[in-house]
């Protein structure tokens, strides 16, 4: 019998170092007022020179094991959604597996930018549905400050570092991840990318001089596609499941920009009281935004059994999607 996947534990972690908008004013031509007006961000956390994606991921993984009260050996699979891995190889998932001594787990990294966690949940849920896997760890995390150009004020003010994760387990069809709709449009790649560092443009003196190893984006174009993409896919999944915005207990969108979130929620008919926004504290942590917000919602008791939770994301690729969860954490 095919099973749904439910979330049995949540966790998140961010670096200790805090960077405020006032700190950014000292690095680039910007202001606190300009950043808050355009993005809603007041601060973000950044890694120090000795921290990498796997370090924060390991902290998340250990929290998840402790919360679920299971052994590392109980894990079957580890999926890490990230575009800032420690290395091209080995994968961040492999490093986490080593660090937590999950000797029975295999895994891999998944690259879908800001949709990385959502795509990871979908992948994990289907492994659960196969009946072969019982406990899957999905982490969404990025340390974006390692690929930011602090001479590009339109980009460097947006992002922060951190992530979160969940453990997926099987449950009956009435709960857990009920449905998802995921999309990708590769023609959007020109508007949000990191030009150099891959096989298309290997690292060279020229690529370094041209600052092509940093995130580049056409902000206006990305904003337009993000609002439409997140709103349309969220409306579509509600309609598909005969639900409306009134039926949603909590909307947890990707924290890209407060204006994008507000516009998407409005188009879906979801009241602002049901929208989780924490971008002011963390900035855009890319694959980390949704799992961070989800864990905060659990800690703040904003989610209870039986609630319909709506997730939505939009990221480079372009990638975007929505997921509907009927919440229950214990069976």
In this predicted model, what pLDDT tens digit does every residue of 211-221 receive, in sequence order? 999 999 998 99
Nearest of 272, 270, 310 to residue 290 by alpha carbon: 310
Answer whether 150's CB lies under 8 Å from 279's CB. no
Give the per-residue pLDDT at 172: 83
Other CB atoms within a 10 A radius of the CB of residue 296 amount to 18
Which CATH architecture group holds 178-326?
3-Layer(aba) Sandwich (3.40)
Equal fold, 4-174 vs 178-326: yes
- pLDDT tens figures, 52-67: 999 999 999 999 999 9
Give the per-residue pLDDT at 174: 87
Residue at token pair 């890694």 = 47
The CATH superfamily holding the domain 4-174 is Thiolase/Chalcone synthase (3.40.47.10)
End-to-end CA distance of the chain: 17
Token pair of 233, please?
A: 């896919």
Q: Alpha helices, DSSP H only, in the chain?
A: 21-25, 32-39, 53-68, 92-100, 116-129, 153-156, 205-209, 219-240, 258-268, 279-282, 289-299
Give the per-residue pLDDT at 1: 66
- pLDDT tens figures, 25-81: 999 999 999 999 999 999 999 999 999 999 999 999 999 999 999 999 999 999 999
Catalytic sites, residue numbers: 114, 254, 284
How much of the chain exceeds pLDDT 70, in percent? 100
> Would you list the domain boundaries of the chain?
4-174, 178-326
How much of the chain exceeds pLDDT 90, in percent? 94
- pLDDT tens figures, 285-314: 999 999 999 999 999 999 999 999 999 999
Interatomic CA distance for residues 129 and 291, integer angstroms = 21
Token pair of 198, please?
A: 């891959």
User: How many alpha carbons lie under 13 Å from residue 109 in its C-beta half-sphere?
Assistant: 24
Residue 173's pLDDT band, with cuts at 50, 70 and 90, is: confident
Residue 247's pLDDT band, with cuts at 50, 70 and 90, is: very high
Token pair of 248, please?
A: 């949603």
Q: What is the pTM of this model?
A: 0.96
| DSSP letter string, 98-133 | HHHT-TT-EEEEE--GGGHHHHHHHHHHHHHHTTS-
* pLDDT above 90: residue 147: yes
Residue 2's pLDDT band, with cuts at 50, 70 and 90, is: confident
Buried b (16+ CB within 10 A) or exposed e, 124-153: bbebbbeeebebbbbbbbbbbbbbbbeeeb
């Amino acid at each position: 019998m095919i099973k749904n996947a439910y979330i049995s534990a949540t966790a998140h972690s961010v670096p200790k170092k805090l960077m405020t908008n006032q700190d950014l004013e000292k690095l680039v031509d910007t202001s606190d007022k300009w950043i808050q007006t355009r993005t809603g961000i007041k601060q973000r956390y950044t890694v120090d020179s000795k921290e990498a994606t796997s370090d924060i991921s390991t902290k998340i993984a250990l929290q998840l094991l402790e919360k679920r009260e299971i052994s590392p050996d109980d894990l079957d699979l580890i999926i890490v959604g990230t575009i800032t891995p420690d290395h091209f190889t080995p994968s961040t998932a492999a490093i986490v597996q080593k660090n937590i001594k999950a000797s029975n787990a295999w895994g891999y990294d998944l690259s879908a930018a800001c949709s990385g966690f959502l795509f990871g949940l979908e992948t994990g849920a289907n492994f659960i549905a196969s009946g072969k896997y019982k406990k899957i760890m999905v982490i969404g995390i990025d340390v974006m400050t390692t690929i930011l150009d602090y001479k590009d004020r339109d980009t460097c003010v947006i992002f922060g570092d951190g992530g979160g994760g969940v453990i997926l387990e099987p449950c009956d069809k009435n709960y857990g991840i009920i449905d998802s709709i995921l999309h990708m449009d590769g023609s959007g790649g020109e508007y949000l990318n990191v030009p150099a560092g891959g096989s298309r443009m290997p690292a060279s003196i020229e690529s370094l001089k041209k600052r092509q190893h940093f995130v580049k984006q056409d902000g206006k174009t990305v904003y337009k596609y993000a609002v439409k993409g997140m709103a349309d896919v969220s409306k579509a999944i509600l309609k598909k499941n005969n639900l409306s915005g009134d039926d949603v207990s909590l909307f947890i969108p990707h924290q890209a920009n407060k204006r994008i979130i507000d516009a998407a929620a409005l188009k879906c008919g979801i009241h602002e009281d049901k929208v989780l926004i924490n971008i002011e504290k963390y900035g855009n942590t890319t694959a980390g935004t949704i799992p961070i917000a989800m864990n905060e919602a659990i800690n703040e008791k904003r989610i209870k059994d039986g609630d319909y939770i709506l997730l939505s994301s939009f990221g480079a690729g372009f990638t975007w999607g929505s997921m509907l969860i009927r919440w229950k954490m214990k069976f």
